[in-house]
């Protein structure tokens, strides 16, 4: 499928798939969306000094990188697992501007390290942040009561409806510890009902720029 790097409304880049008219991030602002959905309503909602995070759809590594930046501020320890079936190409990674837009040029080697690190092997990127990238499909997740937080960042239900089903939400519920949370940019009624059907307690929260709402589920 054809892929193109585009600039979103906050000046940060994303990868656009014209064939699907779908992007890796919101065209209203990739960095803004990532902070709003995953950091402010996810990471900051887990009150723990050490946490395990599962990201579904590691993609460009933006969510992983901003989580690493948070750990440098709050000194929490994060064990981060990123699942990705189709790793982003090197030429695309080189065209992304997250390090400069986040004014973290001094940490550009950390962003690179996250991408260069081998798959399926834990890598301590900083004293506070350990990353394991797993190259696999979502439906093969088998973790049980392992994670405090899931960033569910798959492509939308319009283009990948098979990833927004009760079956997939059940795998994610099982992967969470009791009290664990899942955040996603999605707000569709069908997604909320699928989450509720498998047992998530679901909150509708204000969405990032350009979106009215987003969802957060908690495992009871
Ligand atoms: C919305 S993009 C992810 C954005 C990513 N979090 C980032 O910050 O760049 C969705 C990601 O899910 C991946 N993906 C699509 N289908 C998948 C599947 N069945 N299993 C695992 N990953 C999948 C895509 O390759 C893509 O990287």
pLDDT tens digit string along 163-189?
Answer: 999 999 999 999 999 999 999 999 999
Quickly count: other Cβ atoms within 10 Å of residue 22's Cβ.
15
Question: Would you tell me which CATH number, out of the four given (3.40.50.150, 2.60.120.10, 3.30.1130.10, 2.60.120.560), belongs to the domain 38-219?
Answer: 3.40.50.150
Q: Strand 4-7 vs strand 200-206: parallel, antiparallel, or unpaired? A: unpaired
Helices (H), 56-125: 62-74, 90-95, 98-101, 108-116
Q: Give residue 212 CA to ligand 1 midpoint distance, Å.
A: 23
Q: Give residue 123 CA to ligand 1 midpoint distance, Å.
A: 21
Q: Give residue 152 CA to ligand 1 midpoint distance, Å.
A: 9
- pTM higher than 0.85: yes
30 lines ligand 1 (CB under 6 A): no
Each residue of 98-139: pLDDT tens digit? Answer: 999 999 999 999 999 999 999 999 999 999 999 999 999 999
154 lines ligand 1 (CB under 6 A): yes
Sheet holding 176-184, edge to edge: 123-126, 129-135, 77-84, 50-56, 147-152, 176-184, 213-219, 200-206
45's tokens: 């909602």
Q: Whose CA is nearest to atom 8 of ligand 1?
A: 62
């Amino acid at each position: 499928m054809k892929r193109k790097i585009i600039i979103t409304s906050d000046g940060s880049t994303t990868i656009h798939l014209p064939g699907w008219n779908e992007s890796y991030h919101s065209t209203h602002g990739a960095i803004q969306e990532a902070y709003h959905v995953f950091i402010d309503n996810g990471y900051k909602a887990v009150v723990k000094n050490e946490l395990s995070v599962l990201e579904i759809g590691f993609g460009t590594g933006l969510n992983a990188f901003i989580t690493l930046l948070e750990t440098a501020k709050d000194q929490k320890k994060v064990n981060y697992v990123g699942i990705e079936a189709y790793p982003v190409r090197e030429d695309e990674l080189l065209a992304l501007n997250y390090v400069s837009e986040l004014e973290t040029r001094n940490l550009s080697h950390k962003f690179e390290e996250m991408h260069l690190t081998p798959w399926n092997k834990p890598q301590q990127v900083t004293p506070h942040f350990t990353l394991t990238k797993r190259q696999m499909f979502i439906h093969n997740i088998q973790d049980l009561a392992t994670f405090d937080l899931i960033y569910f960042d798959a492509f939308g239900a319009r283009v990948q409806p098979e990833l927004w089903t009760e079956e997939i939400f059940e795998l994610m519920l099982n992967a969470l510890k009791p009290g664990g949370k899942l955040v996603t940019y999605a707000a569709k009624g069908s997604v909320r009902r699928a989450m509720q059907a498998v047992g998530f307690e679901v909150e509708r929260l204000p969405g990032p720029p350009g979106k009215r709402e987003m969802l957060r589920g908690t495992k009871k």
